[in-house]
Amino acid sequence: MKNTLILFLFLFAGNCFAQQPFVLRDDVLPDITSVNTRLFDKDGLWGYINGGADLYLEYGFEQVTVFDIKAGGIDYKADVYRMASPEAAFGIFSISRFKCQESARITPDDCLTPYQYIAAKGNFYFSISNSSGSPEAQVHLLAIAGNLLEQIENLSIEKPSLFNYEMLGPHLSGLKYISGQLGMQNGFVRWEPLFQQSKNYTAWIMPVKQDGSIFYVALVDFSDSADMETFMQKNGLTASNGLNQVVGNKIYTLFIKQNNRLVLTEGVIPESLRDYLEKF
């Protein structure tokens, strides 16, 4: 392939709304034999990933650009999902990230495994995979990713400052962002029963493993006070700030904040964290 592949796919980078031609360099991989490009918008996602579409739609999906690349006898696929917000892009990334061999390789929120590289940057979620899993193919994943990511303005997502607390900071790589039932089912099954009757919420959830035990810290925003009250009522929780509440065989602690915001923990949390969450 001699010519640079200039694909006139106008992607809106982050929030800047500047149209940019999306370019895949012809030398991004050696021995490229073919590149096929497809574009699916909100209504077309069903045709592309069938039942998997619902999860993206729940987070807020706008468009996906798909590159099918053949190079050196190996199939590569790069999916660039333009989501409705940086949070939505990070949300998909956060529930997809798993057993990363390496993280923060190209951008702060990325994850490399033998068969796949995923990342969130600005409004975009990237999934680049290969059919081989070989070390060579892994290098090629990074090459494709590098080429695609460099074309997007660096609008990294701002995670809630709650999680900057020194005890929580080291666990940021496990932070998940969830905005509905499917996200909860796919990303944090543990709390699926807790949220199964809730709608119109967003939740940042962090598992914290410490000294051989584990607890969970979440920042949950409800759309209105009625939704928040319903959530507490359905789960047998009371508005007792900072006190342990035993429901079934689990211990929860609630810290009610302004604007229909809740800090919720599960498990036994250290006293210093309790103080911090109370004051937050």
Partner 1 sequence: MSTKDNPSESGRRNFFKLAAAGSLGALMASTPLKKVLAQVQDPEKPATNIADALKIPKTETSMPGKFPGKVVKVFDAQSVVEDKPVKTAAYQMLSDAMLQLTGAATLSEAWLMFVQPHEKIGLKLNPIGGKLLSSSHEVVQSVIEQLLEAGIPKENIVLWDRREFQLHEAGFTADAYPGIAITGTEKKDADGSYYNKEGKLYSEEMIDKDWFYFADVDGEYDDYTLPYMVNAGKYSYFTKILTQDLDKIINIPILKNAGSSITLCLKNLGYGVITNTGRLHAKLWGDTSAEVCCFPPVRDKVVLNVVDGLRGCYQGGPGANPQYICNYNTLLVGTDAVAVDRIGYDIVLKKRIEEGIQQEDSPRGRQFMEYAAQLGLGEADIEKIDLVEVIK
In the bound state with partner 1, the residue whose beta carbon lies nearer, of 115 and 280, is 115
CB of 118 to partner 1, least distance (A): 8
Rg (CA), the chain: 21
| Cβ-based neighbours of 80, under 8 Å, separated by 6 or more | 11, 22, 64, 65, 66, 67, 124, 125, 126, 148
In the bound state with partner 1, the residue whose beta carbon lies nearer, of 160 and 174, is 174
- Please state the length of the chain: 280
Count the alpha carbons within 13 Å of 73 in the hemisphere toward its beta carbon: 4
In the bound state with partner 1, the residue whose beta carbon lies nearer, of 124 and 255, is 124
In the bound state with partner 1, the residue whose beta carbon lies nearer, of 13 and 194, is 194
In the bound state with partner 1, the residue whose beta carbon lies nearer, of 31 and 250, is 250
In the bound state with partner 1, the residue whose beta carbon lies nearer, of 23 and 39, is 39
Binding site for partner 1 (CB under 8 A): 40-41, 43-44, 46-47, 49-54, 75, 96, 98-99, 113-116, 127, 129-131, 133, 182, 185-186, 189-190, 192-193, 196
Question: For the chain, how long is the longest CA-to-CA vector?
Answer: 68
CB of 113 to partner 1, least distance (A): 4
Give the pairing type, strands 176-178 and 201-210: antiparallel
Q: What is the DSSP letter of 218?
A: E
Count of CB atoms within 10 A of residue 67's CB?
22
Count of CB atoms within 10 A of residue 74's CB?
17
CB of 15 to partner 1, least distance (A): 26
CB of 38 to partner 1, least distance (A): 11
In the bound state with partner 1, the residue whose beta carbon lies nearer, of 108 and 114, is 114
* Region of residue 156 (left: phi > 0; alpha: psi -120 to 50; beta: else): beta
Residues forming a β-bridge with 124: 82, 121
In the bound state with partner 1, the residue whose beta carbon lies nearer, of 108 and 267, is 267
CB of 187 to partner 1, least distance (A): 9
DSSP 121-166: ETTEEEEEEESS--HHHHHHHHHHHHHHHTTS--------GGGGST
CB of 165 to partner 1, least distance (A): 24
Give the integer Cα–Cα distance in Å for 206 and 204: 7
